[in-house]
């Protein structure tokens, strides 16, 4: 087999464009399944779709709810990467049915791109995300579809750029709130690097039916360590307020949907340290497999905000 043809379902979301960009950059014929309304010339995503076309991506109109459109799209490709959002996780069962029906897909990467859902604390608000992802994992295995699960850990622009502040998009310069004691190890990756490592894995026999761990050593940092790096860059200390674990749990109970989900994920990541686990036999490390990838370190990433 030559270089695989890749279909991205969810290409017009937040993560999708980083995945399609990496797919094109690494030379894969790349296809995006786009909902008809999103593909229309009056859509708010018109410019994004135009940029896809300009970079050589083939737009296939379709919908995860429309079986025929899925089958028609799958017939054109070898590999499927789903980057659908939290609300569509369970709809991927329809994608699994279509992949099983066509029978020739060499790899399916479902919408994971975060914590290992089987190694993350179970709280009611995150059930839809973590349990939804586990359900899809089980359905893929039961269907005998070749897969790779991408354990990308924290998107840097969400968790590192804000130094863990859920209401900020750039690092604070005066004060910040730290969940727990701030010592749990978090793993931060730029979305560009997540795209690159993901695409590197799609044709690699070493990642077949494995979880790809994206955890370069310099990107494993506690919030306290990341804050210290930032303080050294800006030349002064921040005022820190630590929120004890019991108080974080109380807040998760008290705040409405959907903010309770993001706080519960932050609890898993920053208080429980769920991203930093001992790899098992089904895990492979992206930095070991692809030592040639020049990724952005946490230290370098923070320089973007100086
Ligand atoms: N690790 C982290 O820090 C982190 C942070 C955020 C997200 N994530 C994970 O990353 C993954 C992607 O999340 P995201 O935030 O990028 O998702 P998103 O922005 O919500 O994107 C959803 C995508 O799914 C498409 N879609 C929705 N309904 C569809 C349907 N019926 N048929 C076909 N496509 C449909 C949307 O298309 P339209 O453009 O037509 O709406 C859009 O392209 C998720 O698994 C999420 O849990 C991880």
**Ligand 1 centroid vs 20 CA: distance in angstroms?**
13
Give CA separation, 220 vs 47, 84, 194, 207, 273, in Å: 35, 26, 15, 22, 11
115 lines ligand 1 (CB under 6 A): no
Residue 185, helix vs strand vs coil: strand
| Per-residue model confidence as pLDDT tens digits over 103-140 | 999 999 999 999 999 999 999 999 889 999 999 999 99
**Ligand 1 centroid vs 243 CA: distance in angstroms?**
30
| Residue 2 reports pLDDT greater than 90 | no
C-beta of residue 22 within 8 angstroms of C-beta of residue 192: yes
Which ligand 1 atom is at minimum distance from the Cα of 11?
43
Mean pLDDT of 186-215: 98
Single out the catalytic residue among 133, 210, 221, 272. Answer: 133
Q: What is the mean pLDDT of the chain?
A: 97
Q: For this structure, is 272 an active site residue?
A: no
| Per-residue model confidence as pLDDT tens digits over 279-304 | 999 999 999 999 999 999 999 999 99
C-beta of residue 82 within 8 angstroms of C-beta of residue 111: yes
| Residue 265 reports pLDDT greater than 90 | yes
| Residue 176 reports pLDDT greater than 90 | yes
What is the full DSSP assignment across 91-109? GHHHHHHHHHHH---SEEE
pTM for this entry = 0.98
Paired strand residues for 8: 32, 81
16 lines ligand 1 (CB under 6 A): yes
126 lines ligand 1 (CB under 6 A): no
Residue 173, helix vs strand vs coil: coil
Residue from 223, 237, 296 nearest 304 by CA: 296
Residue from 14, 11, 49 nearest 169 by CA: 14
60 lines ligand 1 (CB under 6 A): no
């Amino acid at each position: 087999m030559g270089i695989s043809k890749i279909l991205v379902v969810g290409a017009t979301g937040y993560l999708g464009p980083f995945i399609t960009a990496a797919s094109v950059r690494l030379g894969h014929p790349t296809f995006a399944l786009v909902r008809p309304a999103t593909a229309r010339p009056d859509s708010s995503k018109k410019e994004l779709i135009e940029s896809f076309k300009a970079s050589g991506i083939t737009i296939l109109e379709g919908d995860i709810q429309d079986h025929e459109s899925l089958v028609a799209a799958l017939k054109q490709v070898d590999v499927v990467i789903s980057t659908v959002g939290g609300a569509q996780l369970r709809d991927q069962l329809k994608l699994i049915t279509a992949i099983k029906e066509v029978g020739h897909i060499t790899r399916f990467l479902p919408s994971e791109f975060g914590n290992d859902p089987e190694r993350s604390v179970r709280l009611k608000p995150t059930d839809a995300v973590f349990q939804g992802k586990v359900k899809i994992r089980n359905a893929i295995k039961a269907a005998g579809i070749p897969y790779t699960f991408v354990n990308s850990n924290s998107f840097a622009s969400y968790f590192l750029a804000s130094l863990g502040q859920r209401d900020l998009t750039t690092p604070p310069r005066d004060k910040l709130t730290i969940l727990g004691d701030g010592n749990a190890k978090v793993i931060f990756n730029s979305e560009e690097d997540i795209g690159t490592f993901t695409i590197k894995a799609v044709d690699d026999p070493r990642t077949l039916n494995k979880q790809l761990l994206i955890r370069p050593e310099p990107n494993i940092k506690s919030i306290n360590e990341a804050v210290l790096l930032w303080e050294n860059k800006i030349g002064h200390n921040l005022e820190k307020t630590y929120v004890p674990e019991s108080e974080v749990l109380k807040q998760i109970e008290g705040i409405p949907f959907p903010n309770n989900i993001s706080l519960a994920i932050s609890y898993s990541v920053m208080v429980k340290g769920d991203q930093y686990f001992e790899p098992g036999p089904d895990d492979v490390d992206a930095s070991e497999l692809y030592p040639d990838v020049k990724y952005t370190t946490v230290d370098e990433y923070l320089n973007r905000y100086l």
